[in-house]
Structure 1
Amino acid sequence: MDSAPSDHPESDSNSDSDSSKSGSSIKDERGVIRASQGEIEREEDEFRVKGGRGGRSGWWKKVLSISRGEGGNWFRENMVLQVGEGESTRFWKQRWVGERSLEDMFPRLFHLNSNKEGFISEMGGKRDAWKWKADVSGAFSVKTAYKSLSNAARPSIPSSDGFDWHQVWKTPASFKAVLTAWKVLKQRMATCDNLQRRHVPISYSEAMCTLCKSNQESIEHLFFECQRAVEVWNEILVWIGKVAVNHHSAKGHFLAFTNLGRKEEISFLTGVWSCTIWCMWKQRNGCKFNQEPWNKDKLIAEIKSRLWSWRMAFDLKSAATGFRGWFAAATLSG
């Protein structure tokens, strides 16, 4: 493959005016467009990008370099060769049948063959082409590339306990809300009992529940056992038109709550649960650090308002029409 272009155009042998036109430099929107539409070349089973003005596209080069470490080469994994006449495809050394080359699948036959570098041009038909596997049409699209990159970059979350962590992370809600919900489920919130386990000095009075002042603060107590928390959950259940038993464990409460409706309602119920947890935590912090009074009505109003702003992501039709109707009841239509 050719050597990578210099990061400093002035170091090239061409003049400054010529180097400023290099495809490896993106200085304006038109440059981005030219780079994004750069021509992708194949060299054996590898890919390189060539810009529209004879240089390499730095934009595409960076995109192709993503996930070449742990996640593998995401671009190569999504490309499959469609063999036509075979004038550009090596019979033994390139992947054109299945996921491996014939050299790898039949090493003894490859060793006996005298034409190890030969092409398959005798097959006839239309010209060889590369197909994008991530899209059913076979054509590359930014949407499917983004999805492939997201899947490659997503961390592997242990699920030995059988819990569906992917359901939590794909919640169509604010990232802060999803992260707070995940911390609660993983027992990683900075509640007073967790801080004490980390040897953070906390007095007996400071370790009490900020909301009720009658029990030591823990994840289970703060979000699910405290009477004030129970009142919040009861109002939310009435608001969405559901009935549930109050579980005192985080995972038990999450599973019971998110399974109250039909399959198509799970994303909405997961969003309601995550939003309620997040808003409760924020009001707890206001009470603890800013000496703000507990205000259940303000908390419920914030939960409903935030869910209203996220409602389009839930892909559900609510029986309520308009914000006023939503605020009164978010009962889901059948």
Structure 2
Amino acid sequence: MSSLSLVRFSPSLADSRAWSLSSSGLFSVKSFFLALSKVSNPILFLPAKFLWSSKVPSKVKALAWIVAHGKVNTNDKLQLRRPYKSLCPQWCILCKGNGESIDHLFLHCPVTIGLWNKLFKLARLDWVPPRVLRTLWQERNNRIFKDKGRSEETLWDLILFYSSLWASCSTAFRGVPLDVLQLNWSEIV
């Protein structure tokens, strides 16, 4: 609060918005990331180049970033911030057991493990495509806020569909029909 008292307003100038971290004065995730990476430990940002240059929507990149940094508002974090408003931190909306934490929701939940097993067997991957994180987060929110849940098979189909859809929008797969990409999904991830 004391830093706010240092702010001086000029009655002769009109109010304006400006983002000092970019030359245009406009906010961008890139300018914010660059500012963060200058002041933080560069070792923590090794996967960042891969993540931010990937061909997935920005909202998915942002979710993967906040998951990696432990900043997702899962029930355990909400309970610490506002214990009177949070859902039960000892209950995971996906599996109906265990507490909901970032690790549980994205790694250890039986629903999540089932999806990871399919992914790693089908595509022979040793990394996590951001689309899976986004699907899990959307499913969690649908169950909490809309009281609607989908089966693990439906979640898997959504992961395949959106991954194929994003690939079809990239220059590498331009002209390849979406149904062909879905059939050869393991080749695009």
Identify whether the pair has TM-score above 0.5, normalized to the shorter chain: yes
Spell out the pairing of 1:176-191 with structure 2 (5 A cutoff). Answer: 176-191=59-74
Deviation at 1:152, TM superposition (A): 6.4
Spell out the pairing of 1:145-294 with structure 2 (5 A cutoff). Answer: 155-156=34-35, 157=37, 158-164=40-46, 165-201=48-84, 205=88, 207-240=90-123, 242=124, 256-257=126-127, 273-294=129-150
Spell out the pairing of 1:48-87 with structure 2 (5 A cutoff). Answer: none
* Code of the aligned partner of 2:122: W
Larger relative strand fraction: 1
Mark the CA change 1:324 to 1:185 in structure 2 (over 3 Å): closer, same or farther. Answer: same
Mark the CA change 1:152 to 1:222 in structure 2 (over 3 Å): closer, same or farther. Answer: closer
Deviation at 1:310, TM superposition (A): 1.4
Taking only aligned residues, the RMSD between alpha carbons, in angstroms, comes to 3.2
Relative contact order (alpha carbons < 8 A, sep ≥ 6): 1 or 2 greater? 2
Q: Over residues 33-80 of structure 1, what are the superposed CA-to-partner deviations in whole Å (9 max), with x where a residue is unaligned?
A: xxxxxxxxxxxxxxxxxxxxxxxxxxxxxxxxx99x65569xxxxxxx
Deviation at 1:166, TM superposition (A): 2.8
CA distance in 2, matches of 1:170, 1:310: 14
Q: Over residues 137-189 of structure 1, what are the superposed CA-to-partner deviations in whole Å (9 max), with x where a residue is unaligned?
A: xxxxxxxxxxxx99767532234444322322222111111111111001111
Mark the CA change 1:166 to 1:187 in structure 2 (over 3 Å): closer, same or farther. Answer: same
In terms of Rg, which structure is larger?
Answer: 1
* Code of the aligned partner of 1:257: W
Q: Over residues 243-288 of structure 1, what are the superposed CA-to-partner deviations in whole Å (9 max), with x where a residue is unaligned?
A: 5xxxxxxxxxxxx416xxxxxxxxxxxxxx1111001110111112
Q: Is this contact kept in 1: 2:135–2:155, CA < 8 A? A: yes
What is residue 327 of structure 1 aligned with on the other side?
Answer: 182
Q: Is this contact kept in 1: 2:60–2:131, CA < 8 A? A: yes
CA distance in 2, matches of 1:70, 1:285: 33
CA distance in 1, matches of 2:22, 2:43: 24
Deviation at 1:194, TM superposition (A): 1.1
Structure 2 unaligned regions, length at least 5:
1-17
CA distance in 1, matches of 2:141, 2:22: 39
Tell me whether 1:315 sits opposite 2:136 in the alignment: no
- The alignment's TM-score, normalised by the length of structure 2, stands at 0.70
Tell me whether 1:306 sits opposite 2:173 in the alignment: no
Mark the CA change 1:160 to 1:313 in structure 2 (over 3 Å): closer, same or farther. Answer: same
Q: Is this contact kept in 1: 2:75–2:88, CA < 8 A? A: no
Mark the CA change 1:172 to 1:163 in structure 2 (over 3 Å): closer, same or farther. Answer: same
* Code of the aligned partner of 2:187: L
State percent identity of aligned pairs: 20
Structure 1 unaligned regions, length at least 5:
1-65, 74-148, 244-255, 259-272
Q: Is this contact kept in 2: 1:275–1:307, CA < 8 A? A: yes
What is residue 100 of structure 1 aligned with on the other side?
Answer: none
Deviation at 1:209, TM superposition (A): 0.6
Deviation at 1:236, TM superposition (A): 2.1
CA distance in 2, matches of 1:329, 1:70: 42
CA distance in 2, matches of 1:180, 1:194: 16
Aligned-partner SS, 2:185: coil
Q: Is this contact kept in 1: 2:90–2:97, CA < 8 A? A: no
* Code of the aligned partner of 1:238: K
